[in-house]
Amino acid sequence: MTAKFIDLDTYVKRNNLPRVDYIKLDIEGAELEMLHGAAKTITRCKPKMAISAYHKPEDLWTLATYIKSLRADYEFEFRHYRIDCADYMLNDNERAALRYFEMSYLVPTGCEKVLYCK
């Protein structure tokens, strides 16, 4: 099975979209490449964006720097979310222990860092 992709700028042009208001990205490390393919749209529309920034150590810096190069008027916020590991990271004994001691399944993690752009 193969998949065909086009960049966002091409999609917007082909479909004569007058605006793009919001972009949300969590594409496993390809966020910067996608932003390159959306440069014209970002420059023209200045959409709000929520971008996962944890796949590569340099993501926070490179993503924000690139976006700022397109539009200097972007403002940034960063959030780091805890992840709920109840269903996929803990075994039955670990879940039982957390329940017994009334402890949360939410754990700090290097994942779930999100860069918000407005």
pLDDT digits (tens, 9 = 90+) for 77-106: 887 666 555 555 667 777 677 677 676 666
Residue 106: inside a domain, yes or no?
no
Identify the domain containing residue 15 by its residue range: 8-78
- CATH code (residue 67): 3.40.50.150
Radius of gyration of the chain (CA): 18
Query: What is the pLDDT at residue 30?
Result: 93
Average pLDDT on 107-115 reads: 64
**pTM score above 0.85:** no
Domain count, the chain: 1
Q: Single out the residue of 73, 65, 26, 24 nearest to residue 46, CA to CA.
A: 73
At residue 3, the pLDDT reads 84
Q: Give the model's confidence band at 45: pLDDT under 50 very low, under 70 low, under 90 confident, else very high.
A: very high
Q: What is the pLDDT of residues 46-81, one digit of tens each?
A: 999 999 888 888 888 899 999 999 999 999 888 766
Specify the residue for token string 């004994």.
93
